[in-house]
Every structure is written in C-alpha cells, then in structure tokens.
Chain A
Amino acid sequence: MVDARGYSCPMPVIMVQKAVKDGAPQTLEVLVDNQCSLENVTRFANNQGYSVTSSQEGEDFRLVLTK
C-alpha cells in the first residue's frame, strides 16, 4: 500500500510510480488526502493500464488500482 497522505503534487504520483516500477503489482492501494492528488494518481494509473476505483474515507481518499 502507498500512503501519500500529507504529500502534495507530484509526490503522490512519484510514490505510486515507484511502487509500480518496483513490483508491477496486479492491485495496489493508495491513500491520498486531497482531490488534486486523487485526480493525478488516477490519471497516471490509467495511463499505466490500471483501472481505478476510489472512495472517500473522512478527509482522505482510498484508491484501488487494478491491472
């Protein structure tokens, strides 16, 4: 899981990029705490061939990336 809460752009995308590059996981959970990071991580994941579902948990967002 990538916990990118508290980080602003582009750090959440860099963290996800590293996780994808290191392990090429079939599924990956990502936590972010702002709408901009949610959009950027979603766009990056889509561009990498992942489908993304997201849900709001209080102030945070949980994304599930699936290959």
Chain B
Amino acid sequence: MKRKINPWLPVTGVAFGVAALLLAHFGNPGNMGFCIACFLRDISGALGLHSAGVVQYFRPEIVGLVLGAMAMAVIKKEFKTKGGSAPATRFLLGAFVMVGTLMFLGCPMRAVIRLGGGDLNALVGLVGFAAGILVGVVCLKQGFSLRRAYSQIRTEGVILPAMLTVLFVLSLAVPALFKQSTEGPGSMAAPWILALVCGLVVGALAQRSRMCMAGGIRDAVMFQDFNLICGPAAMFVTVLIGNLILRKFNLGFADQPVAHTDGLWNFLGMALAGWGCILLGGCPLRQLILTGEGNSDSAVTVLGMLFGAALCHNFGLASSAAGPTLNGKIAVVVGFVVLLIVSLLNVAKKEK
C-alpha cells in the first residue's frame, strides 16, 4: 500500500529544529529555542497575569507563529473564521494542558528539542505524552466530540492575532507597560527581530504542513498513518545533529537546562497534556497555527493556556529545576479528574 508523505512536514521539522538551535544559540534558554507552553507562560507573566519574576517576557516567537500562519492561510485562501465548538470546555482544557506541560517544563515540541539535546527526562515525558494520547484515542473511539463549529463573521478570527500584534508592538514601543525578567529563563532571549522572523517562517510552514505532535501519535495509533509524525521526527534529527556539531549534546538525566529529574511527575504531567491535546484536536503549536487560520475555538484555547499559566505560577503549581511542587502534583491529579468528566460528558450517545 502506497503511503504518501506531505513534503512540507519534513521541511517544517527541519526549519523548526534549525530555528530552535539558532534561538538558543543567540540567547533563548538552553533546549528552549521554541517552547509554546513556556513562551505563553512568559507572555502571561509579561502582561502581569502572574507574578513569577523569572518568567516574564513578551515572546516574539508566539506572535510570529500566529502571524506567519495567518499570512500563509490568507495567501492559500484557507483563512476561514469558524468557531462555536464548546469554547468554554476548550478554555478549561487549554488551562489543564498548561498545568501538565508546566509540571514537565515544556510543550511536546520542547520535549523533542530537549531529547535532541540529550535530556533523557524528555524521553520519560514523551512516553507519558504518548500514554495520555492513548487515553484520548480511547475517548475518540467511544464517540468523544466537542461537536461541530460554524462559520462566523471575520472579526472573530482576527481579534486574537490583532491583540497579540498590538501588545507586541506596545512591548517594543513602551516596554515600561510590561513586566520583564531580569534573571531566570524570562531574562534569556534571542534578539526580538530574529525571534519574530523564526516564528513567522515556522508558523507559515506549520500552516502548510499541519504539523502537530499530538496528531502525529494519534494518527499513527488510530489510522496507522505515519504522515504527521514525520515533522517532529525531522525536527529531532535536526536538533540532535545541531547539538552534536555545536558540542551542546549532553546525554543524561541530571544537569539539564530548565528541567527536573522527577520521572513520575514528568510522565504524569505530559500524560495529562497528551490527553488534553487529543480532546482539543491538537497540540499547543497546532492551536496557535489554527488561531492564525481564523479558528476562534483555538483562539479561546490559547487564552485558556495563558490563564492556566497564570494559575500555575500564582498558585505554585509549576515545577522548577528543583522539581515539582506539592500543589502542582495535586493540580495534575485534579486535571485527570476534570478530563475524565469532560470526556464522559462529551461522548455521543450511540444511536439505537
């Protein structure tokens, strides 16, 4: 049987990997060239939604990803404003995906980047992510659906990208309005123009390729379709080769940048994220790209992630290099219960 691969996927994976290496080389935290969860958390901090002084910076990469996807969607006539598919549930799920990723300290894409740098904690996280996806696949097979979306007026799809753009320009023009870390990961940043351009390029390519970490594993399990997983695989190879060339490859569990070594909670955090991503229909990167395509449900999910990041730091849920917190562990357990309830409530009744 002939299996076609979308040629944009390996291209996007390589571009993502090169951008991640470049951004880390020019100032972003180690193994964090790109991390959707970390960067949304930094933006949440820059807006003053949380008060963790070490993770506050209005990350241009996020703005670039959304605008790059939007530009490509407009050019390819794929910009369509749609929404109304359980927005409040998506907000909630977005918040708990953030609880899971900040327990692990990275989105699924950063997990791949971390693994490419030799961080074996990321392997544990990715196994957890896959386990969460398997739970999500069971829900889908039982008939889980957040119901259909509907066409909306164009402004619905433009509002969040426009807000991000205006806030980003303001962060450059009137930086005093925003919080800015002077130490910690939030103080480590590549030049804004490089970050923005990397975001734009990767965002445009991700729109063409539909790259999605959660979708890649889901499709492989559900449909024996390995198309989507080619993107993250290409990214891993690129980052691995880059780190070996730059002599930044450090194999092991200990002493990894912005990471902790608690295997159980790395696993459980990413399992929560994986399950949530399947219920949402895509990983945090995919939610940003869909936001750029005019999907207001994804825009609400991104707002949920920003809200979740604020809760994580205001309530002491997020891990640090020292490890997870008790509050964070409780929040992950609560997250599993919430996802179970959401899953059960949204399984369509079988027709008699």
**Chain A 27-59 residues near chain B, CB threshold 8 A:** 33-36, 39, 43-44, 46-47, 49, 59
On chain A, which size bracket covers the interface? 20 to 34
- The answer to whether residues A34 and B215 also contact, given A6-B150, A39-B6 and a CB cut-off of 8 A, is no
| B151 within 8 A of partner (CB) | yes
| A11 within 8 A of partner (CB) | yes
B224 and A47 within 8 A (CB) = yes
| B222 within 8 A of partner (CB) | yes
The binding surface of chain B is classed by DSSP as loop
| B41 within 8 A of partner (CB) | no
**Chain B residues whose C-beta falls within 8 Å of the C-beta of A34 in the assembled complex:** 78, 80, 82
CA distance A9 to B85 in the complex (A): 13
| B3 within 8 A of partner (CB) | yes
| B203 within 8 A of partner (CB) | no
| B263 within 8 A of partner (CB) | no
CA distance A49 to B3 in the complex (A): 11
B82 and A9 within 8 A (CB) = no
A6 and B4 within 8 A (CB) = no
- The answer to whether residues A43 and B227 also contact, given A8-B281, A10-B140, A11-B145 and a CB cut-off of 8 A, is yes
Q: Which of B2, B80, B281 contacts A46 (CB 8 A)?
A: B2
A10 and B224 within 8 A (CB) = no
Q: How far is the CB of B315 from chain A (nearest CB, A)?
A: 31
A47 and B223 within 8 A (CB) = yes
CA distance A34 to B85 in the complex (A): 15
Q: How far is the CB of B155 from chain A (nearest CB, A)?
A: 18
| A66 within 8 A of partner (CB) | no
A10 and B210 within 8 A (CB) = no
> What is the chain A residue whose CB lies nearest that of B224?
A47
* Chain B CB within 10 A, most for which of A5, A8, A49: A8
A6 and B223 within 8 A (CB) = no
Q: How far is the CB of A61 from chain B (nearest CB, A)?
A: 12
B281 and A43 within 8 A (CB) = no
| A14 within 8 A of partner (CB) | yes
Q: How far is the CB of B286 from chain A (nearest CB, A)?
A: 9
Convert A1-20 into 0s and 1s, putting 1 for each residue whose CB lies closer than 8 angstroms to a CB of B: 00001111111011001000
* Chain A CB within 10 A, most for which of B76, B218, B281: B281
| B225 within 8 A of partner (CB) | yes
A6 and B6 within 8 A (CB) = no
* Chain A CB within 10 A, most for which of B85, B148, B222: B148
- The answer to whether residues A10 and B150 also contact, given A35-B78, A44-B225 and a CB cut-off of 8 A, is no
| B24 within 8 A of partner (CB) | no
| B108 within 8 A of partner (CB) | no
CA distance A48 to B290 in the complex (A): 28
Q: How far is the CB of B166 from chain A (nearest CB, A)?
A: 27
CA distance A5 to B295 in the complex (A): 14
Q: How far is the CB of B327 from chain A (nearest CB, A)?
A: 34
**Chain B 1-54 residues near chain A, CB threshold 8 A:** 1-4, 6
> What is the chain A residue whose CB lies nearest that of B278?
A10
| B219 within 8 A of partner (CB) | yes
**Chain B 52-102 residues near chain A, CB threshold 8 A:** 76, 78, 80, 82, 85
B225 and A6 within 8 A (CB) = no
A10 and B227 within 8 A (CB) = no
A8 and B85 within 8 A (CB) = yes
A17 and B223 within 8 A (CB) = yes
CA distance A14 to B136 in the complex (A): 13
* Chain A interfacial positions (CB closer than 8 Å to B): 5-11, 13-14, 17, 33-36, 39, 43-44, 46-47, 49, 59
Could you show 9 A-B contacts with beta carbons less than 8 Å apart? A6-B149, A10-B281, A11-B145, A14-B140, A34-B82, A43-B225, A47-B1, A59-B80, A59-B151
For the complex of A and B, 8 pairs with smallest distance between CB atoms: A6-B148, A35-B78, A6-B149, A7-B148, A8-B281, A36-B210, A44-B223, A11-B145
